[in-house]
Amino acid sequence: MSLKLRLLVTMVALVVVTSLVLSAMHLNTVTETWLAHLDERSSTTAQTVKRWVLHRAAESFTHSEQSPASAIRAGYRDAIAADEELPLVLAGLLSQTKSIVEISVADSRSTILASTSRARAGAHMPDRLTLKDLIGLGPLDRMLAILGGAIDYESRVDLGILGQPVPVFRIQVLVSSVLLREAILPSIGSAALASAAAVLIAAALAFFVARISLQPIARLGAAIDDIARGQRLSPPQVSSASEFQVVEQKLRLLGEQFRGAREGATELRGSMERRLAAINRLTGGVAHEIKNPLNSIALRLELLKNRILPEVPEAKEELAVISEEINRLDRVVRTFLDFTRPVEIETAEVDLGVLVDETIGVLKPEALSSLVDVRWSKPTGPVLIRGDAGLLKQAVWNVCRNALEAMPGGGALSVETFREGADAFIRISDTGPGVAAGDREKVFQLYYSTKPQGSGIGLAMTFRAVQLHGGSIEIGSAAGGGAAFDMRLPAA
């Protein structure tokens, strides 16, 4: 998950949780207020009924001081049960409040004497959960009770005779939970709406905040890119937060140091190249100075041989040694010149298939005599490059000769040429001992040889030829553990 997304999700989650908690608290407060109001309303109604019943009972039934309590109770009860006006009064009270669904008056045995639901007269008045019970519940239970079942809650007032434990009348006012629910649902709706709006606004804000706060990071990334490219950094942004400014400053410092180091390295390389060129010129000059006298010495030696040998035949051996040494010196000077002189290659279109074929043709007799099986996979079509055919032929010949020399007791020499993408390849592998991984750099060095009579020139020459063509050469291991040389040249 990207940093931006994480910031966004965290901020939105925070707002969701906050708005949920706030909404729940708000709903709770609304419910509590509503219930308190309702409780007051219903108990006021119950009290009003009580006063009325008390008044009517006293009015329509008179008793003497000596009447027994039971007679008084029965008298009151009958008076109220027969009262024609009571149901009308109850109905009037009911119509005043929407939240009250029923008002009933019952006797001590809970038999209904009068009710706003006239059919219920004479029926049993059941006990209900009181509004006070509902108010006493925990917030969650209360909300579930209101939203859950359709239960009616009561407010009850008892009316009795002074000093008597059992009441004469019970007055019940019923409140429906359906009405309660209807009163609270709009509050839930508006809270949900407000929460949704808050979440949307928070998401939008979070998006912008994430964008603004991550901008410096993007800028630091760009600065690092500039440093990598060795460019001068763009001027610092004053709008960045101070933390980022510090990092940016350090980066700037690092960039300057890096640029300095880079310029230093470039300068060093330039001066090294100039120096090397100067050394090359100097040594090249010295080699030339040696080469010319060497030529005339060789010439004179031939003349001297012709003169001396007929008279002093014993000198033949000495003269041969001198001649040999002069030749060796000449070879050294020549290869030295080859390597120091900037070679001008003459490029023409070359078909590598043909070039390798010709080179192998020259090597075939020697391979046969040392029991080496030459496996030349000739390409079906031309493998064209632009290059110097003479130089490349020499390069391939050097590698193949080394392969033959690595298999004195016989083996197999495999050669293939192919094109792959923008490159042409010549792959030469043998079944000799191979080149140890640690020696793979060394074998291309001039004069490096592990052979008693080796010159160490062959692979150095090959390396240089391939390099002059803009290619490369690598050594790997052949399948049987022998050496595998891969020459890559840019295809035409």
Ligand X SMILES: Nc1ncnc2c1ncn2[C@@H]1O[C@H](COP(=O)(O)OP(=O)(O)O)[C@@H](O)[C@H]1O
Which tokens is 181 given?
């629910």
Which positions from 339 through 358 interact with ligand X, judged by CB under 6 A?
Answer: none
Query: Which tokens is 170 given?
Result: 């019970």
CA distance linking residue 15 with residue 20, whole number of Å: 8
In this complex, which beta carbon is closest to Mg ion, that of residue 402 or of residue 429? 402
Least distance (Å) between residue 312 CB and ligand X: 37
Q: Does 367 bind ligand X (CB under 6 A)?
A: no
Minimum gap (Å) between residue 393 Cβ and Mg ion: 15
Under rule CB under 6 A, residue 195 binds ligand X: no
Cβ neighbours of residue 87 under 8 Å, at least 6 residues apart? 114, 115, 116, 118
Contact stretch for ligand X (CB under 6 A) within 5-13, 133-141, 143-151, 449-457: 449-457
- Residue 207: name its binding partner from ligand X, Mg ion, none (Cβ under 5 to 8 Å by kind): none
The one-character DSSP state at 338 is H
- Whichever of 95 and 467 has its CB closer to ligand X, that residue is 467
Q: How far is the CB of 281 from ligand X (least distance, A)?
A: 26
For 42-88, the three-class secondary structure string (H helix, E strand, C coil) is HHHHHHHHHHHHHHHHHHHCCCCCCCCHHHHHHHHHHHHHCCCHHHH
Determine if 360 is a binding residue for ligand X (CB under 6 A).
Answer: no
Using CB distances below 5 to 8 A depending on partner kind, what does residue 450 bind out of Mg ion, ligand X, none? ligand X
Number of residues that bind ligand X (CB under 6 A): 22
In the range 428-447, which residues lie near ligand X by CB under 6 A?
Answer: 430, 432-435, 443
Residue 442 Cβ vs ligand X, minimum distance, rounded to whole Å: 8
Residues 453-472, interacting with ligand X (CB under 6 A):
454-460
Smallest gap, in angstroms, from Cβ of residue 221 to ligand X?
Answer: 48
Q: Are strands 483-490 and 472-477 parallel, antiparallel or unpaired?
A: antiparallel
Measured distance CA(315)–CA(411) in Å, rounded: 44
| Of the residues 458, 466, 487, 489, which one makes contact with Mg ion according to CB under 5 A | 458
Angle at 152 between CA 151 and CA 158, to 5 degrees: 145
- Residue window 389-428: x/- pattern of binding to ligand X, with contact defined by CB under 6 A: ---------x---xx--x----------------------
Min separation Cβ 329 and ligand X, Å: 18
Per DSSP, what are the bridge partners of residue 386? Answer: 349
Q: Considering the complex, what minimum distance in angstroms separates the CB of residue 454 from ligand X? A: 3
* DSSP per residue, 379-432: -SS--EEEE-HHHHHHHHHHHHHHHHHH-TT-EEEEEEEEEETTEEEEEEEESS
449 binds, among Mg ion, ligand X, none (CB under 5 to 8 A by kind): ligand X
User: Which sign, positive or negative, has the C-alpha torsion 315, 321, 325, 331?
Assistant: positive
- Rule CB under 5 A: choose which of 402, 417, 429, 431 binds Mg ion: 402
- Give dist(CA 387, CA 489) in Å, integer: 9
306 burial (CB, 10 Å; 0-12 / 13-18 / 19+) is exposed
- In the complex, the smallest distance separating the C-beta of residue 335 from ligand X, rounded to whole angstroms, is 11
- Written as six digits, the tokens of 234 are 């763009």
Minimum Å gap between C-beta 459 and ligand X is 3
Residue 411's binding partner among Mg ion, ligand X, none (Cβ under 5 to 8 angstroms by kind) is: none
CA angle 274, 275, 277 (to 5 degrees): 65
Q: Is 432 an interacting residue with respect to Mg ion (CB under 5 A)?
A: no
Q: Is 477 in the site for ligand X (CB under 6 A)?
A: no
Choices 209-217, 263-271, 394-402, 425-433; region in contact with Mg ion by CB under 5 A: 394-402
Binding site for ligand X (CB under 6 A): 398, 402-403, 406, 430, 432-435, 443, 448-451, 454-460, 483
